[in-house]
């Protein structure tokens, strides 16, 4: 190569690319990039295809039967001639187990995320993260099997005592806390400086007595409950909440971490405790990210199939009374999974198309929730980075 | 609020956070413990002579001589019980019509329970179904059946305000004074002699075909089916995902079009798994007709679509975490962009990409809903590699559901179900564990 470099200013022939070759290279580069773009757009094409093919099989149902029956009737008798396709009870069942699981998973998930991002030292966090990942990795059918074979019989045979102990273990610490805080607040408000301690003690014992009474009365009420069927909305809600937790925790933790140190340090400098800093400064700043986490967690619960199919009882009716979580329910996902086997898959029938209508409903809900949560996350990132 | 209360509140806030993490860990423990404990019981258990006979006859395994001597011993004790049965049958012939009718209806369940414990009774024709050709193969099941022989289950409806309660009535009392009466104490005393229990390690559980819808035999067809589906899905999704990630990280210019592609990716990640199943049925099977009906191919394609967003995201993260200096050095040495990607960036990002791939593999193996309509059958034998384009397969995830919820003898084969759940959970968790370890190693390496 050295001998080819002759004089300055004159380029070596080794580095000269003929115009033809350069053209070819440019062509290859463009072709390659187009191919890459094509493959990258594959995902978008799939999303369009999913919408298209689910909609194509769902629309015939609405053409045949209209919208009213599907959304307002509770009669679900797809096997009859003529069939009834009222999905209201099924939609309600889906909403019910999703709400139940959110009720359990959201507070726990946010608390765990706060703990992971702000409270636990790094050494402990290293071990807590794999636990959450394992919880997320366990296949849904294994959770369903647990719900059906272990939790359901347990609820059926020992439901009352189980509920009572859960209530006691969960409620006792919170009530204790409420007693202390209430006594403190009231005594600070109404008593003179010198009497405050006595007043607080008096109020504490008074409220404490009340709290024990509440614990006892509600406990005995729960103990007396006999659960007729273990495969019910409560069972499913509990299991679903543990399936939604990892999603909530990881997304919420990301949101909390994206709140900078400056906000936290400012709050500490003003004399706030850690809890006050987190509750009054960090959580409000991260609120939109946490909302996104909650939405994603709820979607995880709503879209879950195997657990609800195995352990919800699959009974298409609105529980009586409507908030009765100890009743069997049926959900959209379980109905799709369970009824497709009996529907005519090849030629199609109302029975086949109604299941696609349910699928379309799920798809639309998940699409919009995703869109909303994504927008929220983007907006939060912009706000926090000060744009 | 005084300072003490504020401190208490602060501490209890910490306690709530830690409590929820502890609850999660406990939940993991509570779910996994019974699965592991009972799942191990599908391989390590106390087997009876019936189990060894079944293995010898159906799979040609076992020590023929030992089985013969044990069978001979067991038969000696069984013969005594059979004699009592036939004696009683003769005694009933001689009874008055009324008494004989009464005893006959009570005797039928005893005879059925005996036959389910010991296999076909002498004089019975050889049953068609394999499940009736052998007695109880597991000792704890044999004890359960003995209980059914000894006691009759009755329901107490006396108090209409509470649910009926079950209670046991000893059959020995009902048959007191007849020639059947000694059978019950005999069976209780000599159960071990009749069944010849022995600690058994049945590795064949993982490698044997199933007999008579999983009542005997192993779960090999399901394990194989799960591997076919998961690996098939990876074959499609992994290259596509990595290439798409390369595009997103190295080529895409931030703009409207790219943001749409990114939204599509997160939308796809959020689609409920059952909707993938519907799509697989409507598109791959009914429209594209990749196969006549369900097939491994259709299932693998459906699963591939499902895991694609996860792979893309993981690969993107891995590529972004490659230090910029690597790329700059390579470009500075005069290599082209594509060359840099293939020879520098991808090798450096490979461990991270593989981590994402492993996690997706686990997800594909564990998912049930997408394969219900596209690939899974309840019963079937293991399929050959050439059949993946045309035939459906049993798979662990689907068969766990099927055996637990739809099998006609679901409560009799809990050990098989637990064994399947344990196999599936260990496959998935081992994959995840290796991914976690791999990632820890990478982060150590990046730290230097």
Which domains, from first to last, does chain B contain?
45-150+176-202 (no CATH), 220-447 (1.10.3720.10)
Residue B10 in contact with partner chain A when CB distance is under 8 A: yes
Name the pairing type of β-strands B165-170 and B151-156: antiparallel
Say whether residue B267 is in contact with chain A using an 8 A CB cutoff: yes
Cβ of residue A1 closer than 8 Å to a chain B Cβ: no
Q: Phi and psi of B211, rounded to 5°? A: -115, 130
Longest distance between any two alpha carbons in chain B, whole Å: 108
Contact A383, A285 (CB under 8 A): no
- Quick one: angle between helices B220-246 and B346-366, nearest 10? 140
* A14 vs B: CB within 8 A: no
Determine which helix (DSSP H) or strand (DSSP E) holds B14, and give its type and residue range.
Answer: helix B3-40
**Digit-coded pLDDT (tens) for A345-382:** 666 688 889 999 999 999 999 999 999 988 888 887 78
Mean of the pLDDT values across residues B364-371?
Answer: 93
Quote the minimal CA–CA distance from B385 to chain A in Å: 25
Instruction: Please tell me whether the peptide bond between A82 and the residue prior to it is cis, using omega within 30 degrees of 0.
Output: yes
Query: Do B220 and B214 touch, CB atoms closer than 8 A?
Result: no
The residue of chain A with its CA nearest to that of B265 is A43
Are A54 and B244 an interchain contact pair (Cβ–Cβ within 8 Å)? no
Nearest to A345 among B19, B163, B281 (CB): B281
Segment 86-125 of chain A within 8 Å of chain B by CB: 107-109, 111-112, 114-116, 119-120
Q: Please tell me whether residue B138 adopts helix, strand or coil conformation.
A: strand
Q: What is the chain A residue with the closest CA to B7?
A: A273
Helix (H, G, I), strand (E, B) or coil at B393: strand
Q: What is the pLDDT of residue A386?
A: 66
Which superfamily, per CATH, for A68-141+232-384? MetI-like (1.10.3720.10)
Which of B11-15, B163-167, B271-275 is modeled with the greatest confidence? B271-275
pLDDT of residue A348: 66
Structure tokens at B247: 């595009």
Confidence of residue A297 (pLDDT cuts 50, 70, 90): very high
Query: In the predicted model, what is the mean pLDDT of residues B127-149?
Result: 89
pLDDT surpasses 90 at B129: no
| Residue A166 contacts B, CB cutoff 8 Å | no
Summarize the confidence of residues B231-255 as an average pLDDT. Answer: 91
Q: Does A143 touch chain B (CB under 8 A)?
A: yes
Round to whole Å and give the CA distance between B85 and B114.
Answer: 10
Measured between alpha carbons, how far is B81 from B180 in angstroms, rounded to an integer?
Answer: 9
What's the CA gap between B446 and B424, in Å, rounded? 33
pLDDT at B58 over 50: yes
At residue A16, the pLDDT reads 66
Contact pairs from chain A to chain B, CB under 8 Å: 274
Average pLDDT over residues A187-209: 82
Sequence-ordered list of residues with C-beta below 8 angstroms from that of B343, at least 6 positions apart, any chain: B330, B335
Lowest pLDDT segment from A216-220, A235-239, B13-17: B13-17
pLDDT of residue A33: 84
Per-residue pLDDT averaged across A113-118, rounded? 91
How close B110 gets to chain A, by Cα (Å)?
A: 28
Question: Under a CB-based contact definition with an 8 Å cutoff, are residues A262 and A282 in contact?
Answer: no
Map residue A74 onto helix, strand or coil. coil
Q: Is the Cα torsion angle B379, B381, B387, B393 positive or negative in sign?
A: positive
- Residue B210's Cβ-count burial label (10 Å; 0-12, 13-18, 19+) is buried
Greater model confidence, A192 or B146: B146
Q: Touching check for A12 and chain B: CB below 8 Å?
A: no
* A86 pLDDT above the threshold of 70: yes
The answer to whether the beta carbons of residues A12 and A5 sit under 8 Å apart is yes
Q: Among A39, A108, A181, whose Cβ lies nearest the Cβ of B9?
A: A181
CB atoms B5 and A181 under 8 Å: yes
Select from B280, B249, B281 the least CA-distant residue to B265.
B249
Mean pLDDT, residues B343-364: 91
Q: Which long-range contacts does B350-353 make (Cβ < 8 Å, 24+ apart)? A: B350/B318, B351/B318, B351/B438, B351/B441, B351/B442, B352/B314, B352/B315, B352/B317, B352/B318, B352/B319, B352/B321, B352/B439, B352/B442, B353/B242, B353/B245, B353/B314, B353/B315, B353/B318, B353/B319
The residue-averaged pLDDT of A157-170 equals 90
CA nearest to A115 within chain B: B17
Q: Which of A381-385, B385-389, B424-428 has the lowest mean pLDDT?
A: A381-385
Tokens of A43: 């995902």
Average pLDDT, chain A: 87
Q: Integer distance in angstroms from the first to the last C-alpha of chain B? A: 49
* In the predicted structure, residue B411 carries a pLDDT above the cut 90: no
Q: How far apart are CA A141 and CA A358, in angstroms?
A: 21
- Taking residues B142-149, report their average pLDDT: 90
pLDDT over 90 (residue B223): yes
- CA distance linking residue A136 with residue B436, whole number of Å: 13
Is B243 in Cβ contact with A36 (below 8 Å)? yes
The answer to whether the Cβ–Cβ distance between A303 and B308 falls below 8 Å is: no
Average pLDDT over residues B372-376: 89
* pLDDT of the residue at A2: 46
Tell me the percentage of chain B whose pLDDT exceeds 70.
98
Spans of all domains in chain A: 68-141+232-384
- The confidence score (pLDDT) of residue B448 equals 62
Cβ of B279 and A37 within 8 Å? no
Which residues of chain B have a CB within 8 Å of the CB of A144? 401, 404
Rounded to whole angstroms, how far apart are CA atoms B403 and B215?
10
Contacts of residue B397 in chain A, CB cutoff 8 Å?
139, 141, 306
Higher pLDDT among residues B364 and B8, named by residue: B364
Nearest CA distance, A361 vs chain B (angstrom): 10
Cβ of residue B312 closer than 8 Å to a chain A Cβ: yes
pLDDT in tens, B74-102: 999 999 889 888 888 888 888 888 888 88
Cβ within 8 Å of B, A 272-331: 273-276, 278-279, 296, 299, 302-306, 309-310
Tell me what percent of the residues of chain B surpass a pLDDT of 90.
45
Angle subtended at Cα A223 by Cα A218 and Cα A224, rounded to the nearest 5 degrees: 100
Whether A39 and B244 lie within 8 Å, measured CB to CB: yes
Percent of chain A with pLDDT over 70: 94
Minimal Cβ distance to A135: which of B8, B28, B400: B28
A273-290: per-residue pLDDT in tens?
Answer: 888 899 888 998 888 889
Q: Are B388 and B229 in contact (CB under 8 A)?
A: no
Is residue B321 within 8 angstroms of chain A, CB to CB? no
Q: Which of residues 213-252 of B touch A (CB under 8 A)?
A: 240, 243-244, 246-248, 251-252
Q: Where are the alpha helices (DSSP H) in chain A?
A: 19-65, 68-72, 88-114, 122-137, 140-146, 152-190, 196-223, 233-257, 261-269, 274-277, 283-285, 287-303, 306-311, 332-339, 350-384
Confidence of residue B399 (pLDDT cuts 50, 70, 90): very high
Considering only alpha carbons, which residue of chain B is nearest residue A229? Answer: B163
Quote the pLDDT of residue A337. Answer: 92
Contacts of A336 in chain B (CB under 8 A): 274, 277-278
Q: Among residues of chain A, what percentage have pLDDT more than 90?
A: 42
**Farthest-apart Cα atoms in chain A, separation:** 102
Q: b or e along B226-251 (b: 16 or more beta carbons within 10 Å of the residue's beta carbon)?
A: bbbbbebbbebbbebbbbbbbbbbbb
pLDDT value of position B153: 84
Given a cut of 60, whether residue A6 has pLDDT beyond it is no
| Cα–Cα dist A249/B270, whole Å | 17
Task: Please report the residues numbered 155 through 214 in chain B whose beta carbons come closer than 8 angstroms to any beta carbon of chain A.
Answer: 162-163
Q: Which residues of A touch B18 (CB under 8 A)?
A: 115, 119-120
How large is the average pLDDT for residues A237-265?
91
Q: Answer whether B39's CB lies under 8 Å from B414's CB.
A: no
Q: What is the pTM of this model?
A: 0.91
- What's the residue count for chain B? 448
Q: What is the pLDDT of residue A13?
A: 57
Asked if pLDDT for residue B281 goes beyond 80, the answer is yes
Mean pLDDT for B118-135 is 85
As a whole number, mean pLDDT of residues A212-229 equals 90
Q: How far apart are CA B108 and CA A259, in angstroms?
A: 74
What count of Cα atoms within 13 Å lies in the side-chain half-sphere of residue A321?
Answer: 1
Provide, as residue numbers in chain B, all residues whose Cβ is less than 8 Å from the Cβ of A115.
Answer: 14, 17-18, 20-21
Residue B358: predicted pLDDT: 92
For range B134-145, the mean pLDDT: 90
Sign of CA dihedral A151, A154, A160, A165: negative
Measured between CB atoms, which of A108, A139, A228 is closest to B428?
Answer: A139
The residues that bridge with B166 in the sheet, in sequence order, are B155
Cis peptide before B209 (omega within 30 of 0): no
């Amino acid at each position: 190569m050295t001998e080819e470099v002759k004089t300055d200013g004159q380029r070596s022939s080794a580095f000269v690319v003929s115009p033809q070759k350069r053209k070819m290279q440019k062509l290859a580069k463009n072709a390659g990039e187009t191919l890459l773009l094509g493959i990258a757009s594959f995902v978008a094409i799939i999303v369009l295809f999913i919408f298209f093919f689910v909609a194509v099989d769902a629309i015939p149902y609405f053409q045949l039967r209209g919208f009213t029956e599907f959304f307002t009737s509770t009669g679900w008798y797809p096997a009859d001639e003529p069939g009834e396709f009222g999905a209201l009870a099924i939609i309600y069942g889906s909403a019910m187990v999703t709400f139940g699981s959110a009720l359990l998973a959201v507070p726990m998930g946010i608390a765990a995320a706060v703990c992971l991002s702000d409270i636990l030292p790094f050494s402990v966090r290293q071990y807590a993260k794999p636990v959450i990942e394992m919880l997320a990795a366990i296949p849904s059918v294994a959770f369903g099997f647990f719900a059906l074979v272990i939790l359901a019989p347990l609820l059926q045979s020992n439901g009352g005592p189980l509920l009572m102990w859960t209530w006691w273990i969960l409620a006792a610490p919170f009530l204790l806390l409420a007693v202390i805080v209430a006594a403190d607040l009231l005594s600070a408000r109404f008593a003179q400086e010198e009497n405050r301690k006595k007043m607080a003690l008096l109020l504490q014992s008074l409220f404490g007595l009340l709290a024990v009474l509440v614990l006892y009365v509600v406990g005995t009420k729960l103990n007396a409950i006999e659960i007729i069927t273990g495969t019910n909305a409560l069972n499913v809600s509990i299991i679903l909440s543990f399936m939604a937790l990892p999603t909530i925790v990881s997304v919420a933790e990301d949101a909390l971490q994206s709140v900078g140190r400056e906000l936290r340090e400012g709050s500490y400098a003003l004399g706030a405790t850690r809890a006050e800093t987190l509750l009054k400064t960090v959580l409000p700043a991260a609120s939109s990210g946490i909302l996104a986490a909650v939405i994603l967690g709820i979607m995880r619960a709503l879209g879950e199939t195997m657990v609800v199919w195995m352990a919800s009882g699959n009974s298409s009716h609105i529980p009586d009374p409507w908030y009765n979580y100890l009743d069997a329910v049926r959900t959209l996902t379980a109905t799709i999974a369970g009824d497709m086997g009996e529907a005519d898959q090849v030629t199609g029938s109302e029975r086949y198309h109604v299941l696609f209508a349910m699928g379309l409903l799920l798809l639309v809900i998940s699409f919009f929730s995703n869109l909303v949560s994504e927008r929220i996350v983007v907006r939060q990132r912009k706000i926090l980075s000060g744009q | 609020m005084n300072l003490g209360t504020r401190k208490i509140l602060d501490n209890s806030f910490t306690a709530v956070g830690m409590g929820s993490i502890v609850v999660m860990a406990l939940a993991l423990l509570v779910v996994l413990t019974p699965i592991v404990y009972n799942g191990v019981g599908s391989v390590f258990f106390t087997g009876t002579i019936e189990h060894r006979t079944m293995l010898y006859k159906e799979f040609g395994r076992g020590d023929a001589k030992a089985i013969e001597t044990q069978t001979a011993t067991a038969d000696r004790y069984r013969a005594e019980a059979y004699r009592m049965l036939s004696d009683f049958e003769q005694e009933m012939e001689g009874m008055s019509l009324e008494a004989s009718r009464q005893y006959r209806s009570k005797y039928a369940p005893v005879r059925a329970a005996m036959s389910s414990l010991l296999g076909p009774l002498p004089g019975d024709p050889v049953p068609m179904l394999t499940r009736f050709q052998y007695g109880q193969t597991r000792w704890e099941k044999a004890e359960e059946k003995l209980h059914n022989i000894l006691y009759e289950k009755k329901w107490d409806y006396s108090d209409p305000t509470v649910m009926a309660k079950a209670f046991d009535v000893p059959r020995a009392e009902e048959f007191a004074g007849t020639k059947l009466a000694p059978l019950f104490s005999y069976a209780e005393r000599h159960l071990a002699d009749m069944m010849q229990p022995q600690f058994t390690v049945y590795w064949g559980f993982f490698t044997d075909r199933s007999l008579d819808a999983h009542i005997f035999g192993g779960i090999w067809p399901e394990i194989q089916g799960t591997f076919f589906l998961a690996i098939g899905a990876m074959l499609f999704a992994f290259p596509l995902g990595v290439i798409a990630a390369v595009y997103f990280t190295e080529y895409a210019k931030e703009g409207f079009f790219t943001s749409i592609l990114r939204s599509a990716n997160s939308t796809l990640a959020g689609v409920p798994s059952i909707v993938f199943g519907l799509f697989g049925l409507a598109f791959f099977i009914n429209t594209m007709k990749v196969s006549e009906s369900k097939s491994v191919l259709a299932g693998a394609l459906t699963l591939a679509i499902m895991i694609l967003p996860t792979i893309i995201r993981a690969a993107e993260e891995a590529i972004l975490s490659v230090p910029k200096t690597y790329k700059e050095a390579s470009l500075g040495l005069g290599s082209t962009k594509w060359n840099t990607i293939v020879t520098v960036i991808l090798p450096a990002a490979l461990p991270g990409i593989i981590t994402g791939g492993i996690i997706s593999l686990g997800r594909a193996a564990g998912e049930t809903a997408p394969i219900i309509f596209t690939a899974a059958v309840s019963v079937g034998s293991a399929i050959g590699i050439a059949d993946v384009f045309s035939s459906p397969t049993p798979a662990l995830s689907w068969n766990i559901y099927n055996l637990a919820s739809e099998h006609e003898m679901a409560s009799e084969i809990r050990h098989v179900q637990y064994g399947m759940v344990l196999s599936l959970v260990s496959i998935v968790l081992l994959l995840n564990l290796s991914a976690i370890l791999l990632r820890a190693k990478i982060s150590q390496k990046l730290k230097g």
